[in-house]
Amino acid sequence: MLPAAAQAEPDAPVADPNGSAVVSVRPLGGRQFDVVVHSAAMNRDISLWMSHPDGPAPALYLLNAVDGGEDGGPWMNRTDVAEFFADKPVNVIVPMGGRASYYTDWVADDPVLGRNKWATFLGRELPPLLNEQFQMTGRNAVAGVSMSATSALDLAIESPGLYQAVGSYSGCPRVSDPVARVYVHAQLSPYGANADNMWGGWTDQTWVAHDPVVNAERLRGTALYISTGNGTLGAHERLEDPSLHGNIGALADRIAVGGGMETFVDNCNSSLLGRLQQLGIPATVVHRNGTHAWPYWQDDLHNSWSVFARALGV
C-alpha cells in the first residue's frame, strides 16, 4: 500500500506560504520514493531519494559528499542504505544536488553554481513540508561525509532544536583559520566554485560563524557521532574488499590520495574533539585505521544508527 504522499493529487501538493512545495512523489518500489520539492529560496526543484516506512516516524537526512551525488554517485549507489534501513522505523532522505556548496547559504550567487541557499532549504523549507506530506514525528537527525560532515554540524548549529542527532563522518569541522580556509577553497575549486561567494573574503567573519569548532557550545544537548580514520591501512585497504573489485589501481589511489586526505581530516577533526571535551559536551567518537573512502562511511552509518535511534526515540 502506498503512503499518503504517493496518493496525493498532483494539483494539490503540500506547500508553504513562501512558495516551497512538494511537487511530486514517485514510487520506486518497496518503501523507496523519488520526491521532488520546489525550493523558493533557490527557485529550483530539488530531487530527494527517500525511504519511507509505514506510519509516523522520525527523519534521518543524509547529505552527499562534495559532488552532491552527481559524479561519483549518491548514498544509494555507494552504500547499502536502502537495504540497511528497509526494516527500520525512520524516514531516510537524501537530497540530490548541492555539489561544492557545503549545504549552506551563500552570501552571493556563484557564476558556476548559481544560487545556493541550502541551509534555508534543509533547515526551514523542507522539514515542515515532509512532516506534513509523510506524517513525520518532527524529530530529526542529519549526517554527512567529508565536506557534508562539516555541513551536518553547521546545520545543527544554525537551527537549534531541529536535529536531535548529528553524524560527522570524516569531516574537517575547522573552517575559519587560514589553513582550513585553503582546504575549503581547494575542495570547491575543482567544481569551478569560488568560496568567496560562499562565506565572503579572507577577513569576512561569516567563516567564523560557520565554524563548528568555534561554535561547539551550540551543539550541547545534541547526540553526536564523530568519526575519522588516521590515514593508515585499514579494513578496506585490501584487494578483496568488495568496493575495490580487485582493482589494484583503485587500491593504490585509495591508499595514496585517500590516506593523505584522511590524515589531514583526522588532524582537523581533533580540534573539534578537543573543544567538545573542554566544554564537557559528550560525543560518540570513532577513531580507526583507514582512509577517506565510502566503505568506512557505510560502516559509520551502521554504527551510528544506535546513537540516532536513541535520540529519535525509536
What is the predicted pLDDT for the residue at 194?
Answer: 97
Cα–Cα distance, 254 to 268 (Å, whole number): 20
What is the predicted pLDDT for the residue at 269?
Answer: 97
What is the predicted pLDDT for the residue at 13?
Answer: 62
CA atoms within 13 A on the CB side of 37: 31
Written as one letter, the residue type at 38 is H
Cα–Cα distance, 103 to 294 (Å, whole number): 19
Written as one letter, the residue type at 166 is V
What is the predicted pLDDT for the residue at 9?
Answer: 33
Per residue of the chain (314 residues), give pLDDT as tens. 344 444 333 334 677 778 999 999 999 999 999 999 999 999 999 999 999 999 999 999 999 999 999 876 799 999 999 999 999 999 999 999 999 999 999 999 999 999 999 999 999 999 999 999 999 999 999 999 999 999 999 999 999 999 999 999 999 999 999 999 999 999 999 999 999 999 999 899 999 999 999 999 999 999 999 999 999 999 999 999 999 999 999 999 999 999 999 999 999 999 999 999 999 999 999 999 999 999 999 999 999 999 999 999 99
What is the predicted pLDDT for the residue at 7?
Answer: 39
What is the predicted pLDDT for the residue at 165?
Answer: 99
What is the predicted pLDDT for the residue at 70?
Answer: 86
Cα–Cα distance, 102 to 288 (Å, whole number): 25
Cα–Cα distance, 283 to 216 (Å, whole number): 12
Check if the beta carbon of residue 97 is closer than 8 Å to that of residue 68: yes
Check if the beta carbon of residue 216 is closer than 8 Å to that of residue 176: no
Check if the beta carbon of residue 91 is closer than 8 Å to that of residue 61: no
What is the predicted pLDDT for the residue at 5?
Answer: 44
Rg (CA), the chain: 19
Check if the beta carbon of residue 250 is closer than 8 Å to that of residue 295: no
Check if the beta carbon of residue 154 is closer than 8 Å to that of residue 177: no
What is the predicted pLDDT for the residue at 181?
Answer: 94
What is the predicted pLDDT for the residue at 185?
Answer: 96
Exposed e or buried b per residue across 274-313, where buried means at least 16 C-beta atoms within 10 angstroms of its C-beta: ebbeeeebebeebebebbbbbbbbbbbbeebbebbbebbe
Cα separation values, 50 from 33, 61, 94, 123, 142, Å = 5, 9, 6, 17, 14
What is the predicted pLDDT for the residue at 177?
Answer: 93
Three cell numbers at 267? 588532524
What is the predicted pLDDT for the residue at 72?
Answer: 63
Cα–Cα distance, 251 to 263 (Å, whole number): 17
Show the domains of the chain with their CATH numbers. 4-312 (3.40.50.1820)
Residue 289: name the closest of 202, 246, 228, 243 by CA. 228
Stated pTM of the model: 0.94
What are the phi and psi torsion angles at 19 (to 5°)?
A: 110, -10
Residue 168: name the closest of 303, 311, 312, 38 by CA. 303
